[in-house]
C-alpha cells in the first residue's frame, strides 16, 4: 500500500466514523449533556486547557457549564465527565450493567478488530482492571477477591505486612534519606512476597520493585485518554512504525519488553520452586496447588491466575506507596498534625512496644489521617475510565453508546458541600467529632477506590497496609523539613505529578527516631522477627 493510499484510507475511515456517530445521535430527541460546542472533525480537542491538570480542568469546566455532567467530543469519541459523586453512583452503581465496561486503550493493550487484525501495544492486556465487562473479567475478579478475602487477609497478608513493617522501620532508621524507596519496598515488596513468595532478602525482590516502578510510570502516562494520538484516532494503530507520527508504536514496543518480564518471570520462579519443593506459600503457589489437588487444572485457569497475580503485582507496587508518601508529606509540612498523631498512638500503644493489628480500629486519629490522605490527593484523580455498552438517557440528556465515562474523583473529594470549605487543606480533624471519635456524618473517601462493580478488589489490603504503616511511623519517628544554606526551611511542594496515577514530586525531609529507647525497640523488633 502506498503512502497516498494509506492517507486516503485513514481519511475515509474517519469520515465514515464521524458520519455514523452523527446519524446515531440524530435518532434521539434528547440533547447531549452540556459542554463546549467544539470544532468540525476535531471536536473539543482544543477546548481542554493544557496548562492545568486534567482533573482540575474538568472540574472547572463543569462549574462553568453549571452541571455535574460535562460532555466533550474528542474527534468523534464521546467523552462524559462526571463531576459529582451523586451522578457517579447513579451511573456506575445503580446502572452498573450499562456502565461497567472499559474503553479500548490502543496504547496500553493488544486489541483485535472485527477483521482479526491485532495491533502491538505496551502489552497490558493481562490487566484485570482494564478487561471488558464479561465472562473473563468475572472469572478473574472472583480469583482476585478470593485471594484478598477477610480470611486470607488475616491468615496470610496481615502477618506478612507486620513482618514487612519491621524491615521498613529498620531501613528508615539506617538510611532515612532513601525514605521514598523504603516506602515502595514496604508496599510493593509486601505484594511481591505475598503474591510470589519472594523473600525480602532475595535479590529478585529489589529487581522486581524497580521493574514495577518503571512500568507503572509508563502506564500512568498512557492510561490518560488522549495522551497519545492513537487514543484519539484509533485508526492510527494500522500505520507502520516508519510512518511520520508513529513514535507511539516505537514507545509501545520498548515498554512491552518490560511488561512481559513482569508478567512471566515471577510465575516461572514460583513454578521452579514448587518443582524443587522449596516454594514458599503465596498467592500463585496456593492457586496452582488448589488446581492440582481438585483436578481442575486447565490452561485457561492458569492463564487467569497469571493475569490476576500480575495485576496484583503491578497495582499494589505503586498505588499504596503513593498514598503513604502523600501522608508523610503532610506530616513533614505540619508538625502539629504529626504531634497529634504521635500522642494518639502513644495513648493506646504506649512506649514499650510497636503498633500491631491488635490496635487497628482503636486509634481514630490514625484512621482520620489515612482518610484525609486518600481525600486530599487521590492517587487516581480521574479514576479508570468506564465505557457505555449501549446508549442511555439520564436527567433528560442523551448519552451515546460507546461513550468513555470518567468519574472525576478529585472533584468528588474536593466538594465543599461534603468536606467543608477548606478542602484544599490537609486537615484530618474534618473526619473527627470534638471528642476525638470518628464523625459518621463525614463520608469515608470511598471514591478513591473506584465505583460499583469496578471498585478496587485490593481495598481491604491497602487500608490495612496504610493503617499499620502510619501508626508505626508516628510511634517511631519525628519528621521535619530540611533547611537551605541560609537556614531557611524548605517547604515541600504539594503539586503532584499528573497522570493516571498521581504522585507527589520528590521531596526531602528529616526522619529521626523519637528517642534512643525507640531506636533500640525498632532494632530489637527487627532482630526478633526477621
Instruction: For residue range 411-452, list pLDDT tens digits in order.
Output: 999 999 999 999 999 999 999 999 999 999 999 999 999 998
Q: Which residue has the higher pLDDT, 318 or 492?
A: 492
- Check residue 113 and give its pLDDT: 43
Q: What is the mean pLDDT of residues 200-212?
A: 88
CA dihedral of residues 28, 32, 37, 40 (deg, nearest 10) = -50
In this model, does residue 73 exceed pLDDT 70?
A: yes
pLDDT of residue 22: 61
Whether residue 35 is predicted with pLDDT greater than 90 in this model: the reply is: yes
11 located within any domain: no
pLDDT-derived band at 57, boundaries 50, 70, 90: very high
- The verdict on residue 102 lying in a domain is no
Beta carbons of 263 and 122 less than 8 angstroms apart:
no
Assigned domain for 326 exists: yes
Residue 42 has pLDDT above 90, yes or no: no
Q: Considering its fold, how many domains does the chain have in total?
A: 1
Furthest C-alpha separation in the chain: 77
Eight-state DSSP code of residue 7: H
User: What is the CATH number for 418?
Assistant: 1.10.630.10
The answer to whether residue 242 scores a pLDDT higher than 80 is: no
* pLDDT at residue 110, as a whole number: 56
For the segment 109-163, what is each residue's pLDDT rounded down to a tens digit?
A: 755 444 444 456 888 888 898 888 889 899 999 999 998 899 999 999 999 999 9
Q: Is residue 122 part of a domain?
A: no
Q: Is the pLDDT of residue 12 over 70?
A: no
Q: Which domain holds residue 172?
A: 140-529
Per-residue pLDDT, 230? 79
| Residue 503 CA: distances (Å) to CA of 221, 280, 319, 424, 506 | 12, 33, 9, 17, 9
Exposure letters 23-61 (e unless 16+ CB within 10 A, then b):
eebeeeeeebbbbbebeeeebbbebbeeeebbbbbbbeb
Q: Write the pLDDT tens digit of every residue in 290-317.
A: 888 887 788 888 999 999 999 998 887 7
State yes or no: pLDDT of 371 exceeds 90.
yes
Mean model confidence pLDDT for the chain: 89
What is the reported pLDDT for 45? 84
Summarize the confidence of residues 249-260 as an average pLDDT. 88
Percent of residues, the chain, with pLDDT higher than 90: 65
pLDDT band with cut points at 50, 70 and 90 for residue 284:
very high
DSSP result, 458-526: THHHHHHHHHHHHHHHHHHEEEE--B-TTSPBP-----PBPSSS-BPPP---EEEES-HHHHHHHHHHH
Report the pLDDT value the prediction gives residue 409, as an integer from 0 to 100: 97
| Mean pLDDT calculated for residue range 337-347 | 98
Q: Between β-strands 404-407 and 77-82, what pairing exists: parallel, antiparallel or unpaired?
A: parallel
Mean pLDDT of 360-370: 97
Q: What is residue 224's predicted lDDT score, i.e. its pLDDT?
A: 66
Half-sphere exposure in the Cβ direction for 153 (13 Å, CA): 16
The DSSP line for 340-364 is HHHHHHHHHH-SSS---GGGTTS-H
Compute the residue count for the chain: 530
Tell me what percent of the residues of the chain surpass a pLDDT of 70: 92
Q: Is 456 within any annotated ligand binding site?
A: yes
Query: So what's the pLDDT on residue 244?
Result: 78
394-402: average pLDDT: 95
**Mean pLDDT score, 280-284:** 93
Where residue 24 falls among pLDDT bands split at 50, 70, 90? low
Given a cut of 60, whether residue 405 has pLDDT beyond it is: yes
Residue 305 lies in a domain: yes
pLDDT at 119: 52
Question: pLDDT confidence of 17, banded at 50, 70, 90?
Answer: low
Domain assignment present for 64: no
Is residue 108 situated within a structural domain? Answer: no
- Give domain status of residue 497, yes or no: yes
Q: How far is the first Cα of the chain from the last one, in angstroms, to the nearest whole number?
A: 63
Q: Which residue has the higher pLDDT, 190 or 118?
A: 190
Better-predicted residue by pLDDT, 497 or 527: 527
- Per mean pLDDT, which of 20-34, 293-307, 326-340 is the most reliable? 326-340
The arithmetic mean of pLDDT across residues 323-336, rounded, is 96
Residue 476 has pLDDT above 80, yes or no: yes
Our CA angle for 109, 110, 115, nearest 5°, is 145
Cα–Cα nearest to 448, from 320, 317, 312: 320
Residue closest to 228 by CA, chosen among 243, 249, 242: 249
Amino acid at each position: 500500500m502506498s503512502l497516498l493510499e494509506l492517507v486516503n484510507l485513514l481519511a475515509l475511515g474517519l469520515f465514515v466514523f464521524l458520519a455514523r456517530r452523527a446519524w446515531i445521535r440524530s435518532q434521539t430527541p434528547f440533547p447531549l449533556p452540556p459542554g463546549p460546542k467544539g470544532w468540525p472533525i476535531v471536536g473539543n480537542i482544543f477546548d481542554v486547557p493544557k496548562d492545568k491538570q486534567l482533573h482540575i480542568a474538568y472540574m472547572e469546566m463543569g462549574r462553568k457549564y453549571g452541571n455535574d455532567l460535562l460532555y466533550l467530543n474528542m474527534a468523534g469519541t464521546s467523552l462524559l465527565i462526571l463531576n459529582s459523586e451523586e451522578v457517579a453512583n447513579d451511573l456506575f452503581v445503580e446502572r452498573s450493567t450499562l456502565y461497567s465496561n472499559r474503553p479500548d486503550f490502543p496504547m496500553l493493550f493488544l486489541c483485535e478488530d472485527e477483521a482479526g487484525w491485532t495491533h502491538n501495544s505496551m502489552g497490558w492486556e493481562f490487566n484485570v482492571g482494564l478487561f471488558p465487562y464479561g465472562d473473563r473479567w468475572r472469572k478473574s475478579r472472583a480469583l482476585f477477591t478470593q485471594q484478598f478475602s477477610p480470611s486470607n487477609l488475616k491468615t496470610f497478608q496481615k502477618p506478612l505486612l507486620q513482618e514487612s513493617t519491621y524491615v521498613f522501620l529498620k531501613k528508615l532508621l539506617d538510611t532515612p534519606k532513601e525514605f521514598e524507596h523504603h516506602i515502595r519496598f514496604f508496599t510493593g515488596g509486601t505484594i511481591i512476597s505475598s503474591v510470589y513468595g519472594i523473600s525480602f532478602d532475595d535479590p529478585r525482590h529489589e529487581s522486581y520493585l524497580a521493574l514495577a516502578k518503571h512500568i507503572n510510570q509508563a502506564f500512568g502516562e498512557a492510561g490518560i485518554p488522549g495522551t497519545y494520538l492513537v487514543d484519539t484516532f484509533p485508526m492510527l494503530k494500522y500505520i507502520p512504525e516508519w510512518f511520520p507520527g508513529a513514535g507511539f508504536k516505537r514507545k509501545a514496543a520498548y515498554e512491552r519488553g518490560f511488561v512481559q518480564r513482569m508478567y512471566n518471570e515471577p510465575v516461572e520462579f514460583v513454578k521452579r520452586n514448587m518443582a524443587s519443593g522449596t516454594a514458599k506459600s503465596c498467592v500463585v503457589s496456593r492457586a496452582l496447588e488448589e488446581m492440582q489437588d481438585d483436578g481442575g487444572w486447565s490452561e485457561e485457569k492458569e492463564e487467569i491466575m497469571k493475569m490476576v497475580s500480575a495485576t496484583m503485582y503491578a497495582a499494589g507496587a505503586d498505588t499504596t506507596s503513593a498514598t503513604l508518601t502523600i501522608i508523610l508529606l503532610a506530616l513533614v509540612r505540619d508538625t502539629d498534625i504529626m504531634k497529634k498523631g504521635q500522642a494518639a498512638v502513644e495513648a493506646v500503644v504506649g512506649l514499650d512496644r510497636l503498633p500491631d493489628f491488635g490496635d487497628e480500629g482503636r486509634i481514630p486519629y490514625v484512621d482520620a489521617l489515612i482518610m484525609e490522605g486518600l481525600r486530599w490527593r487521590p492517587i487516581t484523580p480521574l479514576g479508570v475510565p468506564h465505557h457505555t455498552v449501549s446508549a442511555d438517557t439520564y436527567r433528560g440528556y442523551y448519552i451515546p453508546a460507546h461513550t468513555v465515562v470518567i468519574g472525576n474523583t478529585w472533584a468528588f473529594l474536593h466538594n465543599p458541600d461534603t468536606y467543608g470549605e477548606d478542602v484544599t487543606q490537609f486537615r484530618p480533624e474534618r473526619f473527627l467529632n470534638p471528642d476525638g471519635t470518628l464523625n459518621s456524618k463525614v463520608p469515608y473517601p470511598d471514591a478513591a477506590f473506584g465505583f460499583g462493580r469496578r471498585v478496587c478488589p485490593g481495598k481491604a489490603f491497602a487500608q490495612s497496609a496504610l493503617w499499620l504503616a502510619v501508626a508505626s511511623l508516628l510511634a517511631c519517628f519525628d519528621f521535619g523539613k530540611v533547611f537551605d544554606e541560609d537556614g531557611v526551611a524548605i517547604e515541600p511542594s504539594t503539586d503532584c505529578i499528573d497522570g493516571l496515577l498521581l504522585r507527589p514530586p520528590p521531596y526531602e525531609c528529616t526522619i529521626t527516631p523519637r528517642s534512643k529507647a525507640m531506636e533500640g525497640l525498632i532494632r530489637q523488633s527487627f532482630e526478633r522477627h526477621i
